[in-house]
Structure 1
Amino acid sequence: MTTQTTAPPGAGAEHDANEALAEILFSPEGRIDPYARYHRLRAAAPVHRSPMGMWALTRYQDVFEALRDKRVGKDVHAFLAGRFSGEWEQHAALRRLASTMLWANPPEHTRMRRIVNAAFTKERVLRHRAFVERRVAELLQPFIEAGGGDICNDFCYLLPISVVAGLVGVPQEEAPGLRAPIRDFQRTFELGMTALELRVADEAAEYLDDYFRALVARKRREPGDDLLSALIAAEDDDPLDDGELAVMCHMLIAAGSETATHFLDNGIRLFIEHPDQAELVRRDPALLTRAIEEVLRYDPPVHILPRTVSEPLEVNGLRIPAGSRLMLLIAAANRDPERFTDPDVFDVTRDQGMSISFGAGIHGCPGWRLARLQAEAVFGTLLRRFPQLEITEPPRPQPRVTLPGLEALRVRLGPDAGEVR
């Protein structure tokens, strides 16, 4: 970790940092526009111990190093106990959250990650390219016929859940019905969760447990050409049992659908809001790869990653004790002016290396190739075919901090330039 000498912030800076962080986490204004607050927090105290006892890191280098440091891991008991006292294990949603690979450490994480990595090899992902392109065309057709619509809910959500369902082995006709319980369960990642939201999340967790356990049983009886069937048939020295298989399916479907939806929503919105940048990609399709990376940097689908410290750390000269909880603000790190020139400018020609939107280290997102594949198909198609794409109503953001997204994004397609490349 970075160890340059830095004096602790004075009272004024401490107040400014507390105020900025409180606005990010709890105010409607902060949730709608967190980026100005990220800059304020970084300027006041780039390593900040909040009144909640958690340490917030906002600099790119500090966040990147923390993600790769073996002394920084995950202690779900410490994290959930800090949010819900000693009662958290009574809740089905929190028990399910604690049991996923997302909260595991080696050696258990190593075992589960090995299995997941087999699902997301470059070769396996590329085999889905034709399916992704076909689904983009199928889902886009109703929009073409109507001239537009809510592209967030009726396109950007349906594509990722269809793709990841096909990968895992969930029947296509059943996949859309998983959206509501998945979104209810995902609320467990938010710091400001209410008692009512937790009760709804518990119900969602129980529903998803039942669904995925039944799916595992179904695949044992009738295996198919999918990941779940392959995991059941795998000859492994330490195979996953039925309960672990159900949790794995839950995690892959939830992570692979919700975050990819936000990624696609954000990209479409950004290209519409920055028509000059969209035109650059139309004129030079080779820029699409950089444009996708810029969407991820400028407005990532996940803003905060939780971690815990197993041994004392020094970050910017400040000592963080063992057992401390961290908030790694990756969205703030992606706008760090020490790392990116003019970080608040959306620039599809930017060539300053990758953001950390997919994480880093052993907990980096295993599905990054699949997410990029979908972004390539969606952004490339929309930019090529609909040069007059426009937003018809102000986008409605979800009131979330860790996994922010849009409730709706209504667009007008405009004239179809066709499939001519």
Structure 2
Amino acid sequence: MTTHIAPPDAAAEHAANEAFAELLFSPEGLADPYSRYHRLREAVPVHRSTLGTWVLTRYDDVEEFLRSKEVNKDIQVYMAGRFAGQWDQHPALRKLAANMLWANPPDHSRLRRIVNRAFTVKRVMQHRVYIEQRFDELIAPLAEAGGGDFSNDVCFPLALSVMAHLVGVPQEQAPLLRDKIRDFQRVFEPGITASEFRTADEAAVFLDDYFGELVRERQRERRDDLLSALIDAVDEDGERLTFYELVQMCHMIIAAGSETTTFFMTNGIRLFIEHADQADLVRKDPGLIGQAITEVLRYAPSAHMIPRTTTGPVRLGDVEIPAGSRVMVWIAAANRDPEHFPDPDRFDVTRKDTTPLAYGLGIHFCLGWRLANLQAEVVFPAMLNRFTGMEITEPLRHRARVAFPQLEALPIRFTKVKEA
């Protein structure tokens, strides 16, 4: 059957292609993606780009698409569209392909069932005391100095420590993983250079070796950590995770949990500083913290884009995305859709009944969302209540990234410290 695609309006297609090119390749677009999201959505919300990749920016389209049974993550389709030649010769891309994030049912269902048996709500909530203690340790030097880089000196070491503590990585070894994780994460980005590829490949080999040895240690001697629980976990058919699956699971949990939670907490404090009136609302009414966390996730999600592929045609309105398509799902754009969120570019901690897409949707909904929110529940009130005056001291620098276009640092100064 011939796939029908509604004929595009030439002027709208040109506007969409221009906004998309700026978003991916211009310094201005990388620094200010949201204005490009609006232009894309207004021009062609379901857009087939000149790269051959489909682009979704409207909330209802994104939600419907992610719930479709014709949507999956076909690593072969996606990589073949991004890279010429034998992409699986790269250790970094082989590692990416082996990640549960790229698995589909029934493999994904099996992996998720086993992980859920070990990664329980009880295990997550037991980390609250550790989060509070580690945050106190990390914020103390900044409080004494009157400020510092909140993102790199507090948020990242906190998130990495929490994930290491959860999985069972020795705390003294956790900092060794930081640069390697970030080097590997570059494979998620369009436009990766040859030099960055080499660095990502080296990082992939290092991380597989490191987590491989950690798995062997736990197989010899169990401890009270998630890795030990994963080794022993079985599904209803008695299946366990293989050695290689355990290695990749350790990497996925620590890398995803540390990077995205770092950006989440960094964005939250930045927004409270930039919107002092909203910070004051949360100080006056601690019951708003849940809505404030949701608003941070809506307004400035850690991941802006998630990749998907189609196994069959998916119709969104008058447009049909064919089977075998590569799709960029822009959740950050969906979270600013004025059709779904009134006055979407306003940061408002009093918004109610909002459902941002920061953690994804469907079977790939973020596994560690509770632990990320738990850290925000500790850090946001602590910062707002201890430091009643904060300011950003330098112009903010954005990472030149598309999927994770976050801040390089958050330099702040405390102007008022609440007395004990």
- Partners of 1:6 and 1:316 within 8 A in 2: no
1:175-204 CA distance string (max 9 Å, x none)? 111010000000000011111111100000
CA distance in 2, matches of 1:272, 1:281: 12
Structure 1: state its 5+ residue gaps: none
- Alignment partner, residue 406 of structure 2: 405
CA distance in 2, matches of 1:23, 1:112: 38
TM-score for the superposition, normalised by structure 2: 0.97
1:133-181 CA distance string (max 9 Å, x none)? 1111111111111111111111010111100111111011111110100
Matches within 5 A, 1:255-274: 255-274=256-275
Shift of 1:400: 0.5
Q: The residue matched to 1:86 in structure 2 has which SS?
A: coil
- Alignment partner, residue 81 of structure 1: 80
- Alignment partner, residue 121 of structure 2: 122
Matched, 1:349 2:342: no
Q: The residue matched to 2:131 in structure 1 has which SS?
A: helix
Matched, 1:370 2:371: yes
CA distance in 1, matches of 2:419, 2:342: 36
- Alignment partner, residue 249 of structure 1: 250
Shift of 1:418: 4.3
CA distance in 1, matches of 2:228, 2:194: 38
- Partners of 2:283 and 2:384 within 8 A in 1: yes
Q: Which runs of 4+ in 1 moved over 4 A?
A: none
- Partners of 1:120 and 1:370 within 8 A in 2: no
- Alignment partner, residue 212 of structure 2: 213
Q: The residue matched to 2:148 in structure 1 has which SS?
A: strand
Shift of 1:394: 1.2
1:89-122 CA distance string (max 9 Å, x none)? 1100000000000100000000111122234432
CA distance in 2, matches of 1:394, 1:114: 45
Q: The residue matched to 2:308 in structure 1 has which SS?
A: strand
Q: The residue matched to 1:413 in structure 2 has which SS?
A: strand
Shift of 1:222: 2.6
- Partners of 2:37 and 2:333 within 8 A in 1: yes
CA distance in 1, matches of 2:266, 2:149: 10
Q: The residue matched to 1:157 in structure 2 has which SS?
A: helix
- Partners of 1:17 and 1:44 within 8 A in 2: yes
CA distance in 1, matches of 2:410, 2:118: 31
> Partner letter of residue 253 of structure 1?
I
CA distance in 1, matches of 2:73, 2:269: 34
Matches within 5 A, 1:3-402: 8-236=7-235, 237-402=238-403
Shift of 1:352: 3.5
Aligned residues: 415
- Partners of 2:184 and 2:204 within 8 A in 1: yes
- Partners of 2:392 and 2:412 within 8 A in 1: yes
CA distance in 2, matches of 1:98, 1:230: 24
> Partner letter of residue 381 of structure 1?
A
Structure 2: state its 5+ residue gaps: none
CA distance in 2, matches of 1:256, 1:402: 16
Shift of 1:6: 9.8
* Structure 1 stretch displaced more, 250-259 or 404-413: 404-413
Shift of 1:415: 2.9
CA distance in 2, matches of 1:177, 1:405: 22
1:39-70 CA distance string (max 9 Å, x none)? 00000000000011111011101101111111
CA distance in 1, matches of 2:215, 2:86: 30
> Partner letter of residue 28 of structure 1?
P
- Partners of 1:340 and 1:352 within 8 A in 2: no
> Partner letter of residue 199 of structure 2?
V
CA distance in 2, matches of 1:60, 1:120: 30
CA distance in 2, matches of 1:296, 1:23: 24
* Structure 1 stretch displaced more, 324-333 or 79-88: 79-88
Shift of 1:405: 1.4
